[in-house]
Each structure stands twice: as C-alpha cells, then as structure tokens.
Amino acid sequence: MNASTVKLLSAAVIAVFVIVSVPFIGFTVDAQDEKQGVMLDFAYYNVEWIPFEFTDGMTGSDALAKACSAKGYPIELDEDGTVYSVNNVPRLLNVSWGMYVLEGEGGSASWKEVAEPSAYVVEGERIVSWARTGSGSEMMPAVDSTGFTYYSYASSGINRSGEQLKIATLAPSVTETICAVGGFQYIVGTDRYSDYPNKLLKARQDRAIKEVGGYTDPNFELIVSERPDIVFLDGGTGEHVTMADKLRKAGVNCVVLYGAVDTDSLLKNLWICASAVGFPENGNAYIKDVKEAINNICRIPDLTGRTVFVSLGVSESPYTAGSGTYVTSMIESLGAVNIFSDSRSWFMVDKEAVYDRQPDVIIIIYDSEEIKTQRQYRSLLNGLNDVWKRTPAFLNGDVYIFSGDAASLLSRPGARLPEALELMAKILDPDAFAAADPTDTIGVKYYNNGYNDGDNGYLTYVKAKGLLKWQKD
C-alpha cells in the first residue's frame, strides 16, 4: 500500500461519519425494492428473511404463519393469542415477540409496532418484521440508509434474471464487508483504493475486477459500463449518496450502507450486505464470529482510566476522533478513554489542546510512508512538536504509529473490526495478553504489514479457521 492510498483512506475516515440526507423523488425508472416478505428477528443480530407475496386479506398473523411454515418453525401462542415463541425461542422479561411495519419515507423510515397483528392487513406493506425485542430501535433495519429495501436483488448469488450476480463496491470498507460475507466472486468493479483481501488486489491487478473511480469521485460511466446488478456505497459521505441517486435514476440498483460509527452499525452493515447478495446465513454466521472475537478480546486488558489521543498524521493541527466515531467506539469498548470524546465526529485539534489533556497514550495513523525500522520510528518521534513531547504518552514511551496495512486496518470501519480492536488492545495493555499467552506479544511501537503475520502470534483472538477464512482463501 502506498502513501497516497493511506492518505485517501484517512480522508475517508473523516468523511464517513458525516451523514448526508438527500430526498429521493422523481425517479425515471421504477426502483426494484418492492419484493415483499417477512423478517424474523430473533434479536442479537440473528435474523432471517422469508420472501413471498402478501395475498388479499392476509393479516400479520397469517404472514407469520406462512413464513414459519416455509422454514418449518413451530409457533407457540399464549391463551390470549399473543406469540410466546417462534422456533422455540421464547419471550423473556421485558423482551417480547411483536409485529412491526415500516413508517416514514426514505432514510427516515423506521419500524412501528402493530397493536393487533391478527387484524392488520399486510397487503400494502413492503416488509413485515416479527421481532423478539424490547424496543423497535433494537431491531435490524429493513432499509438501507437512503430508505430502500435490500432483499430483492439476489438469491444465493443469482440475480433476478437467473444469472450470476454482478456487483460493484465504491469504498474499501464496503469491499471488505462484501468479501467477508461471501460476495468476492461477484465483484466486477471497485474503487481504486480497495486492496484487501489479497485475492481481490490480485484480481484488480489482473484486471479481472475493474477500477470504477475513487472513494470521493466514483465514475458514473465506468460503473454503468460494468452492468452491475447492485452497487454498494458508503452512506457516510455525500458523494456516495448523490451517486446512488444518479444510478437509481438510470435503473441501477444500489445499497447504501449506514455510517459505521460503532459496533452496532458495523454488524448491521454486515447483515445488509449478506442479505443483498442472497446469503443471509453468511451474515448471521460472520456476525456471531465477530461478537465472539470481540468478547474474547475485551475480557483480557485492564484499561480503566487510561487516556488515549488518536491523530491522523503528525501535523501540529491534525484531525482526531471525537464521539460518534468508529475509533472512539473501539477505545471505549476496551475500557479506556478518548481524551476528545466530548467533541463530535472527526475534527482538527491544536497541539495545545492535546497538551492540556495530558494523554497516557498517543496513537498516530501515519499516511505519509510505511514505517519499517526503529530508525524511521525514532526519526518520526524526534520530529513531533515540543508540546506533544511534554505529555505522559511521550515521556513514558507510549507513542504508537500505525503505518502501511495497519493504518488501513484502523482507518476502515468494516469487516476487520476484531483485528483492529485486538491490535489496539495489545498496544494499550501488552502485559495482559502476554500473561494470557506468553507467545502473544507485540514488541515494537510501530505497526506495518507484519502485524497480521500469524507465525508471529499476532491476532490470535480472532478465529483463524472461521473469521479469517475469507482473508486467507
């Protein structure tokens, strides 16, 4: 990975958290997102999609019965007719089974609970959800970030015409997410910065996968020329929302993912991608592995009270992460504190503000070059401004530089969340990991392509034969 790649990825991180809402009206081509069906949401990101047409007079209870019949799932009712369990998954205290329909338009569409499912006719609905939840906000979304459903385009990698699916991805994090849920073989085009996993990079180099523009400047003509069935975009940047509008008006199906600001949104994006390419079971399995890996990682370090400053580069006024960002979410999940969590999104911070907050740790996402030697590392440290050198982080030797592949890992809020989290955890508390496994240590304070070398014992808390299989194939 060259410096320009990392530089753009850093810019992408900044852009990803700024959600832009654009009204979608006046389409010249009918949107292909009207396929009907039922979502069975068992909670904890365990969701199934059963497509079928809602017939005349079909009620919400009828729809549940048909969906469960198609899957062979038993339904148990209480004496009053309310649903007690679906597929032997019962309600719990403050968690009950209920029926939900979409309310609102576009990106503002949300779930609304139906009080009497047995009397509610579903014929006019796009999607019905039967969910085991205590709140509609806990449910899997039925639409992408722009209000379009994402179930109608494919089944097991086959498009609506019965041919192999063709997809384009327009952001590195989106590309990685598609690959993670089994969509690699269907990719015909990506942005120029998508370079992971290695098999995708090779396919791009061999021109088996075409370049269709940059992250902030996707090329409409190049995208359309590949005749994709679905284009996957990042809803966290305005250029992608605008491009989705343009593509849809030209009759191209789009799925615009949610801005990945925390673990919850990342897991939802995994499910959306898996469902859109027709492999929802892959989404459920991958999400289960991700959650297990995160739990395994977070139980090890003891970081209570540790304060962290994250910098994009080494300028005197760099961008840093505030609340509502993927980076802050990782820091907080480990029990540490982002010194700028009282500010929102990514913003420029002056050197004096960093000094005033006296961070225990400084993490630098370095986009200028790949740091490979201790000499390069020391040279970069020596060049830091004098104010940063008067912080506990510098005085105690706790300044860490992410470069090369590690920089992109931390910059991309996508399928490699467990790897990013583990690398950060081992940086912040290496002794805890060494105690858990004496061979599992990181011995230097700069991180490049070698961090993911399994032979060195790195990233052992991510399943090598499950979670990482998509990377190793």
The continuous run of DSSP H or E covering 426 comes out as helix 417-428
CATH class of 296-472: alpha beta
Q: Whose structure tokens read 């809020």?
A: 413
Domain boundaries, the chain: 3-30+147-293, 37-138, 296-472
**How many CA atoms within 13 Å lie on the side-chain side of 434?**
8
Phi, psi angle pair for 121, to nearest 5°: -85, 125
Same fold, 3-30+147-293 and 296-472: yes
* DSSP H stretches of helix in 315-388: 326-333, 351-357, 374-382
Ranges assigned E (strand) in 144-198: 154-155, 158-159, 167-169, 187-190
Beta carbons within 10 angstroms of residue 304's beta carbon: 9
pLDDT at 369: 83
Q: How would you classify the pairing of strands 210-211 and 83-86?
A: unpaired
Fold for 3-30+147-293, please state it. Rossmann fold (3.40.50)
16-50 burial: b if 16+ Cβ within 10 Å, else e: bbebbeeebeeeeeebbbebbbbbbbbbebbbbbb
Q: What pLDDT is stored for residue 281 in this prediction?
A: 87
**pLDDT at residue 453, rounded to an integer:** 53
Q: Measured at the alpha carbon of residue 74, what is the angle toward residues 71 and 77, in degrees to the nearest 5?
A: 135
Residue 74, both tokens: 């038993």
Query: Dihedral (C-alpha) 135, 136, 141, 145: value to the nearest 10 degrees?
Result: -110
Q: What is the CA radius of gyration of the chain?
A: 23
CA distance 176 to 416: 8
B/e letters for 444-458, b = 16+ CB within 10 Å, e = fewer, are ebbbbebbbeeeeeb
Distance CA 256, CA 336 (A): 32
pTM of the model: 0.83
Neighbours of 375 (CB within 10 A): 9
Is 37-138 a domain of CATH 2.170.130.30? Answer: yes
Burial class (CB in 10 A: 0-12, 13-18, 19+), 367: buried
Q: Which two tokens stand for residue 34?
A: 């009207």
Spell out, as residue ranges, where the chain has pLDDT lower than 50.
Answer: 1-31, 454-457, 464-473
Distance CA 19, CA 238 (A): 7
Encoded tokens for 175: 């590309």
